[in-house]
Amino acid sequence: MIECYAFNGQFYKNGLKINSFDEITINLKDNRKILSSMPVEAIVLIMHEYSKKLSSNREILKIQGVPFLSFYLKKNNIKKLLNVSLGKEEYLDKFLEVDDEKYIKAQARGMVCHWVAGNVPTLAIYSAFQAMLCKNSNLLRVPRNSIKDVIKLLNILDDIEIDFEGKIYSSETLLKNICIIYFDSGDKKQNSLMSLQADARVIWGGKDAVDSIACLPKKTTCKDLVFGPKYSFAVFDKTAVESCDFDRYLENLVSDIVAFDQKACSSPQVLFVEKSFVPIEKVGYRLSKIFQKMSKRYIENGIEQYIAAKIINKRGEYGLSLDKTFYSSKGLEYTILIDKDVRLEEPVHGRTIFVKEVDNIFEVVKLITNKIQCVGIASKDKEKVIKFADCVTKSGVDRVTKIGFMNLYDFPWDGSLVLNELVRWCSLNIKGMI
């Protein structure tokens, strides 16, 4: 049995029970016809109005990641995304001449099926909206613990109308091309049936989830985009630590740490600090002061019991060691663990950051694998940053960004221009025909 929470533009609080994917597929296929006729500019304008509704709704802004989402969906950002990914957004609307009577158009793949991870509620919106920009319909299997927030976010998309070139376009068209469903993640039959509907599969999650979904039967023409488990960390070089902006850099680091409870792949787990005249213990102390100040703004809403146990154990380990130290709140609001081992630590979460001193930030290059998603950096030396970025991306890192922007959903993402993967590039060659 499939539980449907958003279907044909309607929401179902308790889940509409559907026996077969056929009903869903037929409905989405019909609705995609209307979406495919919409100019991409109209879709962009609707998403822009949606971003404004998100940023003005105090209740919605409490959902993790919504401020980032509202920024991402602004018109200027979306148009940059389209042009970087596709060259020209007009490719989505019509055949464009690229050579002497040779034309190219980006056509939707059709039905995009998304398996969404449960760590970030806004992930479903990012995933579906990128596919809709390419005029695809969307079937999303969402974890039960995220459904409530996802439906809240989609509710805000209702009742938006824009006037483009004298014609009215409605957000109802977008809503009708999103179907939110739930079934048990271990239900191999339903997973397989869903997979067989897909013209493209977007898979988010940990290794076990990604592996099991990737192995499901699918159409031979199906395109896969896989966003598996990743790891992120931050580096501060000497110029940042010794600058008058050091506290601002620390504030930006804390904002990256507290976002998504450190459960996002882009959340920093370790901070590597280049040796300077500021001792590493002093760095930890100043970071603790920033945490104290910012914890009043970013209130911890509760920590799962197993994470709390890990935090307490780590504090005990570092407190009893002669070559380790830590700073922390009296409660479990934050924990800063300082040691000399230059390595990537297993994430603890719960606003826990490992801090390590290095002679040179380039020492971290030896730690890089293809599992590193993002490196946040603070530096006053632009040339050094560019050289560092070249080194770490050669070794496997996908993104290098300034501190404070690690959790901003960016493009490319995980080494992919997602929109480019969600279209079929079609050609027309009529040279000499007429």
Asked if residue 390 is part of any domain, the answer here is yes
Asked if residue 221 is part of any domain, the answer here is yes
Residues 197 and 274 in one domain: no
What residue spans of 303-348 are helical by DSSP H?
305-320
Amino acid at site 296? K
Residues 286 and 387 in one domain: yes
pTM, to two decimals: 0.87
Average pLDDT estimate for 179-189: 93
- The pLDDT assigned to 69 comes to 93
Residues 198 and 160 in one domain: yes
Residues 72 and 134 in one domain: yes
pLDDT at 286 over 70: yes
HSE-up of 22 (CA within 13 Å, CB side)? 2
Average pLDDT estimate for 191-196: 96
* pLDDT tens per residue across span 25-82: 999 999 999 999 999 999 999 999 999 999 999 999 988 889 889 999 999 999 999 9
Percent above pLDDT 70 for the chain: 99
For the four alpha carbons of 403, 408, 412 and 413, in that order, the dihedral sign comes to positive
Distance from C-alpha of 70 to C-alpha of 122, rounded to nearest angstrom: 10
pLDDT at 159 over 70: yes
Structure tokens at 286: 């100043």
Kindly give the interhelix angle for 40-55 and 123-133, rounded to the nearest 10 degrees: 160
Contact assessment for residue 91 and residue 104, using Cβ atoms and an 8 Å cutoff: yes
- The pLDDT assigned to 298 comes to 72
Asked if residue 389 is part of any domain, the answer here is yes
Going by pLDDT thresholds of 50, 70 and 90, the confidence category of residue 241 is: very high
Distance from C-alpha of 54 to C-alpha of 157, rounded to nearest angstrom: 9
Amino acid at site 49? E
Asked if residue 408 is part of any domain, the answer here is no
Average pLDDT estimate for 93-120: 93
Sole residue written with tokens 């154990």: 313
First to last CA, the chain: 55
Distance from C-alpha of 425 to C-alpha of 108, rounded to nearest angstrom: 9
pLDDT at 270 over 70: yes
Residues 248 and 271 in one domain: yes
Residues 60 and 7 in one domain: yes
Asked if residue 6 is part of any domain, the answer here is yes
- The pLDDT assigned to 126 comes to 94
Quick one: DSSP state of residue 407?
Answer: T
Average pLDDT estimate for 295-302: 72
Going by pLDDT thresholds of 50, 70 and 90, the confidence category of residue 206 is: confident
Asked if residue 420 is part of any domain, the answer here is yes
HSE-up of 263 (CA within 13 Å, CB side)? 17
CA 85-90-94 angle, to 5 degrees, is 125
Identify the three-state secondary structure at position 360. Answer: coil
Nearest to 139 by CA among 14, 32, 265: 32
Asked if residue 409 is part of any domain, the answer here is no
pLDDT at 16 over 70: yes
Asked if residue 54 is part of any domain, the answer here is yes
Residues 180 and 43 in one domain: yes
Residues 153 and 255 in one domain: no
Cα-based distances in Å from 96 to 44, 88, 90, 99, 165: 20, 9, 8, 9, 20
Residues 220 and 344 in one domain: no
Structural domain that includes position 424: 2-228+414-429
Distance from C-alpha of 321 to C-alpha of 36, rounded to nearest angstrom: 63
What is the maximal distance between C-alpha atoms in the chain?
A: 84
Number of helices (H), then strands (E), in the chain: 16, 19
Contact assessment for residue 288 and residue 336, using Cβ atoms and an 8 Å cutoff: yes
Sole residue written with tokens 């998504």: 260
Identify the three-state secondary structure at position 173. Answer: helix
Distance from C-alpha of 357 to C-alpha of 337, rounded to nearest angstrom: 12
- The pLDDT assigned to 301 comes to 64
Number of domains in the chain: 2
Q: How far is CA 12 from the centre of its chain?
A: 26
Distance from C-alpha of 35 to C-alpha of 31, rounded to nearest angstrom: 7
* pLDDT tens per residue across span 401-420: 999 999 888 778 878 889 99
Average pLDDT estimate for 139-158: 95
What residue spans of 187-233 are helical by DSSP H?
188-197, 207-214
Range list of β-strands (E), 128-262: 137-141, 161-164, 167-170, 178-182, 200-204, 223-227, 231-236
Average pLDDT estimate for 423-428: 96
Residues 46 and 88 in one domain: yes
pLDDT at 430 over 80: yes
Distance from C-alpha of 122 to C-alpha of 73, rounded to nearest angstrom: 12
Kindly give the interhelix angle for 21-37 and 188-197, rounded to the nearest 10 degrees: 30
CATH number at residue 390: 3.40.309.10
Q: Which residue has the higher pLDDT, 271 or 299?
A: 271
Contacts of 259 (CB under 8 A, 6+ apart): 64, 65, 68, 267, 407
HSE-up of 23 (CA within 13 Å, CB side)? 12
- The pLDDT assigned to 294 comes to 87
Amino acid at site 249? Y
- The pLDDT assigned to 432 comes to 72
